[in-house]
Amino acid sequence: MVIELAYAIEHIWEWMKEVEDPEIPVLNVIDLGIVRDIKYQGETLIVTITPTYSGCPAMKTIETDIAEILEEYAVPHYRIETVLSPAWTTDWMSDAGKLKLHQVGIAPPTGYSADKALLMGKIRTIRCPICGSEDTQMVSQFGSTACKALYKCENCLEPFDHFKCI
Amino acid sequence: MNQDLFKYILRWADNSLIHGQRLAQWCGHGPVLEEDIALTNTALDYIGQATNLYKYAAQIEGAGRDEDQIAFLRDEWEYYNLILLEQPNGDYAYTIARQFLFSTWYYLVLVEMAESKDEFFSGFATKSAKELKYHVVHSRDWVLRMGDGTEESNQRIQTAIDAVWAYLPEMFEMDALDNRMVEHGIGVDFKKIQPLWRTQVEAVLGEATLRTPADGWGHSGGKNGKHSEHLGYILAEMQFLQRAYPGAKW
C-alpha cells in the first residue's frame, strides 16, 4: 500500500506564519526563527521548535497554537519537539520581523549577538523607533518580557522597548 | 540508571530552582519598578533553566517521573543546591551581593560546560550563558553603584559581601562526584575557574571602592543534601500545593 503524505513540507512552513507570538503578536513564529525544522518521520510530522529564553512563558501557548493549526488541516500524526541546541539567537529573526517590530514601536535587535560587548560594558546605540533619534538611554536591561530591555529617548522623551540581542 | 549523572544534573537543577524561587520572592517588593521587573525576569530565566535540567534528569532516571514530580516531591536531603542560594534575600544589597558573586561564577561555569561531551549539557550551557551575561551585568552595575554611592549604600553592600563570603567556598569544592564528571569530560572543574573568578570579582570590588573580604571558614554540605534551616521553609511554600493536592494541574 502506498502511503500518501498529505501535505508538502513547504506548505506547512507557510501555515506556521499563522502562529503568533502571544507576547508580541505582531510577530509570528517564523519571523522569530522559533520553528527550526519541519519533517516527516515515517507518517508522523515533526515540528521542531526552540525557546527564545529558557524560561519563555510563551512556549506552551506556541506549542498549543501550532498543534491547533495542524489539527485544523487534519494532519493525522504529528509531534512537536522542543530543542535547546543550537541556542536561539536574535540573528535568526527575519528582516520582515524586524521591520514589524519597528512599526509597532519596539526597537529591533541590531548587529550580531555573538560578541562579548555586553560583558565589557559596551552599549550599542539604539535608535528611537518613534522619532528616529540616536540620543537614547537604557533604563533597564530587563523590560516587559524576558526578551526586551527598557529605553527612553532623550529627544522625544518617549519610553520604548528594545528587543535585545542574544 | 546512571546514578552519578542523575545526581550531577540535580545539583545544577536545584541551584537554578532554589535561586529562581528566592529571586521570585522580590516580585512586588523591588525597591523600584525596574528592579522588580529585572529580578523577576532573572528568576524566570533560572526557573526555565531548572525546568530544562529536571526534564533531562527525568530522562536519565527513566523511572516515569516528570520534571514537576522531581521538583515538587523531593525533601530537603534530596536537594543538592549550594547553601548560598537558599539564604533569605535580606536587604537589596544582600540580594545583589549574592547575585553578583554567584552569577559571575555561574557564567564562567557555563562557558566551560558548553564544551562538555554531554550533548545536553553543552546545549543547555550555551543557551543559558546568553541569559547569564545579562544577570552579571545587572548585578555588577548595582555593586558599583552602591559601593561607589553614598556612605550608607557603601556600608550596606560591604556588609552584604562580607556576609555572603562564607558561602562561596562551596562553589569551588570538588568532591568525588565532581571529579568523576570531569574525568568523563562531562563536568566542570571549579578549581580551574577560581583564579579567573577571583580576578573579575576583585576588579569590580576595587572599582566599587569595596574591600575583598579575607578568606576563611566556609559553609559546606548543600551539594550532598545537608542544608541550612532555610531550605525547608522554601520547599514547604513551594511544594504545598502538590503535597496537598497530588497531581493538581494549573
Q: What is the pLDDT of residues B41-67, one digit of tens each?
A: 999 999 999 999 999 999 999 999 999
CB pairs under 8 A between A and B: 78
Closest residue on chain B to A121 (Cα): B137
Task: Name the CA radius of gyration of chain B, rounded.
Answer: 18
Q: Does residue B118 carry a pLDDT above 90? A: yes
Task: Judge whether B36 and B27 are in contact, CB under 8 Å.
Answer: yes
CB within 8 Å of A9: residues ≥ 6 apart: A38, A39, A40
Helix (H, G, I), strand (E, B) or coil at A160: strand
Q: Give pLDDT, residue A113.
A: 63
ipTM value = 0.85
Task: Answer whether B126 sits within 8 Å of A56, measured CB to CB.
Answer: no
User: How do the pLDDT tens digits run along chain A, 166 residues long?
Assistant: 455 556 889 999 999 999 999 988 999 999 999 999 999 999 999 999 999 999 888 898 999 999 999 999 999 999 999 999 999 999 999 999 999 999 999 999 886 665 566 777 666 789 999 999 999 998 988 988 888 999 999 999 999 999 988 8
| pLDDT at site A125 | 83
The shortest C-alpha distance from A23 to chain B (Å) reads: 14
Chain B residues within an 8 Å CB radius of A140: 34-35, 37-38
pLDDT in tens, B215-238: 999 999 999 999 999 999 999 999
What pLDDT, on a 0 to 100 scale, did the predictor assign at position A5?
A: 56
B63-70 long-range contacts (CB < 8 A, ≥24 apart) are B63/B1, B68/B242, B70/B10, B70/B13
According to the model, what pLDDT value does residue B219 have? 97
d(C-alpha A29, C-alpha A16), whole Å: 7
Q: How far is A150 from chain B, CA to nearest CA, in Å?
A: 9
- Residues from chain B that touch A138, judged by Cβ atoms under 8 A, are none
Is some CB atom of chain B closer than 8 A to the CB atom of A73?
Answer: no
Residue of B nearest to A138 (CA): B34
Helix, strand, or coil (residue A143): coil
Q: Is A138 an 8 Å CB contact of chain B?
A: no
Amino acid identity, position B126: T
Which chain A residues are Cβ-neighbours of B122 within 8 angstroms? 85
Which value, to the nearest 10 degrees, does the dihedral of the CA atoms of residues B132, A54, B7, B24 take?
Answer: 70
Q: What is the pTM of this model?
A: 0.92
Q: Do A55 and B47 touch (CB under 8 A)?
A: yes
pLDDT digits (tens, 9 = 90+) for B183-196: 999 999 999 999 99
